[in-house]
Structures are given as structure tokens and as C-alpha cells.
Amino acid sequence: MESTAEKLAFDNADSAAIVEAIAAAVAAGEAVLSSRFGATINLDGAEDLAGSGPATVVRVRVAASPFSLPRTLVIKHYPAAAPGDWDPFAHEAVAYQLFTALAEDERRCPELIAQDATKRVIVLEDLGRAATVEDKLLGSDARGAEGALLSWARSLGQLHASTAGREADFDALMRRFGGGDVVSGLASTVELACGELPSVLDEVLGVPTPDPIRVLISRAGARVEAAPYRALSPVDLAPDNNLVTNAGVRFLDFERGCVRNALLDAAYLRMPLASSAGALALPAGMTEAMVASWRAEVTEVWPDLANDSLFGSGMLDGQLVWLVLSTWQLLPELVATHGGVAGPPRTELLPFSSSDAEALAARWARLATDAGQAGVHELADYASELANQLARRFAQRIEVEPYLAFR
């Protein structure tokens, strides 16, 4: 049993490590800014922003500079990447560099001020203390939350439209920074999940996957990878990563950013929020309005997405891939939590939450509805059966509570 003295020792050690990490981030920021501008730049007033990823994230004040710099900046300082692993610094640095090369009105993220691959530091424009999309959802202003969601969807569409056709630029920058290939890794994971999930569902839920559904799942994975609607994606679209500013929602986290099928992100809006821990429900019609806002921004660069049949088919593929990935990952953890025989989660693609079983059941039920409306009745029946069995197996309802803003 841990004693009070031992707990205090651990807490003090953690505090000392945080102070040291913040000091290192500030020093790295000063060094890269001084190198870029050719004069000493001093920073002070460091504020720990407690980023969710591996980087130390701090807001600093520009104490002394002979140049006209913003009054405050944000520094992201990364530890060394594990050998052979994907490098979050490289993905973030490349994404910000790509966006900063665009016209100011096309950026949907903070401006990149400076970066250094050796020091593994990025210095960004500070967007201030704006609320995140998650803050709006957990607040008490329903109209404000609706506005934030629509702005988020619109900004996501603008992000995709402005980076469509830039894959070669992204790849060239990634080679320069030595980052890993997240796209190939995701493709391999999708293929593995599509192949393994039917056996997992049969073992855990007693739901067999008919051959036509296996074909649908495999085909959805292949079509998602081959689709021509490719653009830069933050990948981690969780609402706490997006700031609601006067100029619209701005995206902050590109540590897994890559160029991929933009319909995967659009399907995320329809699920909704498929990778968000503790995701709750949105009002009726909200996801349709979000998807419509996204679609309106991208049809100029991808005119064939104005075709309802083609668009609907692509969205069903995206939904099915999201559900295959999340179900394949989460079921072993849910069985381990609720009893039964299952191994550990196979990957760290998505976070967990106490409402995962409920959310999974609700998302399969949503897919059943969407597939039925699209006339894909075999998939609708299969998704409905999975929703019912998930709810029964884990004693959950096939629905989730709405976000606080909508109660």
C-alpha cells in the first residue's frame, strides 16, 4: 500500500519533470526563433497547456525582440521518436508547413512561426483562450453548440478543399523530415481489421458474418483506400482538438496528419465523433446538417460528390470502415471489462470510454438506418443485428445520452 510520503515523493518527482520539460520547451523555442530572425529573442511567462500527445505544449510571452512578433506564442516541443515508429513531430511540422504556404484565408490552423527538426520544436501563432468544440458541447448554450458543430464541419471541408491535390507536396516534405508512412500503416490496419472482425463477432457476440457481408466489408476497405478524394486530414478529429474562433473553427492537432480519403473524415461527422472518448448524442438532424456543410465546401474541387448516389455510397463505405476499426479494437477491451475471454486491444488507434459499448451499439444502429435508406438491405439487417447483440451482451441501450448543451 502506498504511503503518504511515497505519494508526495511521486508527486514532487512528476512536478519537477514537468517544470524541467517546460524549461526545455522554452529554451528550444528561444533558440529556433533567434536562429530564424538572427537576433536574440527572449520568452517568459510560460504556461503549461497540457497537450494530450507526447509534446510539451506551452504558451509563452515574447519578453524581448527587435522584431514585430505576436505578443504571445505557442511552443510544441517533442521528445525523440522511438526507432521505427511513426514520428508525431514530423507529421505536425509537415502539416503546418503545408498550411502556412497557403494564402491566409485558406488556412484552418494556427500560422507556423518557426520550426527546427534537430531540436524537435514547433513555434505557432497563439489563437488565444477560445473555447473548443468540446467545450461548446459540454456547455449550456444549445445554439452556440450547434453553431460550433456547423462551423467545424465547414472548416473541415475548407481544409480538404484547400489541400486537395497536394499529396506530392506532403510526401516530399515528409521525406525531408524523415517521418513514417501513416497512410500505409492505416491501410494495413484496415485490411487486418476487415479480415479479423467476422471471427471476433462470432466468438464474442455469436453473430455470424455471411459471405456477402464479408465481401461488402472487404470492398469498403479497398474502396476507401483507392478513392480519389484525397486531401490532408488531421486524422485525430476529436472535438477537444478544435478551437472555435471568430474566424471559424481552427484545427490544432496534426500529430497523425496525413493525406487520405476525405470521405473518412466526412463519415466521422455522421457517426458522429467515432474516435472520441465519451462521445454523446447530437440532436436529430444535426449530423445531416454537418455533412451538408462539409459537402458544400468540397464539391467545387470534387464535382462528382454532388451526385447523391455516389456520395451516399462513399459515405457508407467510410462509416463501415470506422465501425470495423473501432469494433475490432474495442470488443476485446469491453469483454475484458465485463467478463469473458478476450485478449488485449490490438492497437492504439482509438481511445476508450466507459460508454463504448453503448456508443458502438448506437453507431451500428445508425449504419443500419443509413444502409436501409440507401437500399443496401443486407447490410442494414446485419448492422441492426449487431446493434441488438452489442446492447444485449453488455447490458446497454441502443442509444446514448445527448451532450449537455442539448439536454
Domain range for 106: 11-125
Q: Considering its fold, how many domains does the chain have in total? A: 2
Are residue 72 and residue 189 in the same domain, yes or no? no
CATH number at residue 334: 3.90.1200
Are residue 117 and residue 144 in the same domain, yes or no? no
pLDDT, residue 183, reads 58
pLDDT lower than 70: segments of the chain: 1-13, 84, 179-187, 274-278, 338-355
Flag whether 5 is in a domain: no
Flag whether 367 is in a domain: yes
Are residue 116 and residue 166 in the same domain, yes or no? no
Peptide bond into 272 cis (omega under 30): yes
CATH number at residue 96: 3.30.200.20
pLDDT, residue 238, reads 87
Residue at which a domain ends, from 103, 125, 147: 125
Are residue 99 and residue 140 in the same domain, yes or no? no
pLDDT, residue 355, reads 63
pLDDT, residue 347, reads 37
Are residue 239 and residue 280 in the same domain, yes or no? yes
Are residue 302 and residue 320 in the same domain, yes or no? yes
> How far is residue 392 from each of residues 25, 69, 333, 357, 396, measured CA to CA in Å?
49, 58, 17, 10, 7
Flag whether 2 is in a domain: no
Classify residue 395 as exposed, middle or buried by CB count within 10 Å of its CB (0-12, 13-18, 19+). exposed
Are residue 142 and residue 114 in the same domain, yes or no? no
Flag whether 60 is in a domain: yes
Flag whether 1 is in a domain: no
Q: Which residues contact 301 (CB under 8 A, 6 or more apart)?
A: 160, 161, 164, 165
**Closest CA relative to residue 396, chosen from 370, 372, 371, 365:** 365
Tens-digit pLDDT profile for residues 91-140: 999 999 999 888 888 889 999 999 999 999 999 999 999 999 999 999 99
Tens-digit pLDDT profile for residues 225-244: 888 999 999 988 889 889 99
Are residue 95 and residue 139 in the same domain, yes or no? no
pLDDT, residue 4, reads 53
Residue at which a domain ends, from 80, 95, 125: 125
Residue at which a domain ends, from 98, 125, 152: 125
Residue 330, all three cell numbers? 474495442
Flag whether 4 is in a domain: no
Are residue 232 and residue 376 in the same domain, yes or no? yes
Q: Which amino acid is at 153?
A: A
User: Whole-angstrom Cα distance, residue 266 to residue 321?
Assistant: 12
Are residue 35 and residue 173 in the same domain, yes or no? no
Is residue 83 within 8 A of residue 167, CB to CB? The reply is: no
Flag whether 153 is in a domain: yes
User: Whole-angstrom Cα distance, residue 356 to residue 22?
Assistant: 34
What pTM was estimated for this model as a whole? Answer: 0.88
Flag whether 187 is in a domain: yes
Q: Which residues contact 80 (CB under 8 A, 6 or more apart)?
A: 120
Are residue 101 and residue 159 in the same domain, yes or no? no
Are residue 300 and residue 400 in the same domain, yes or no? yes
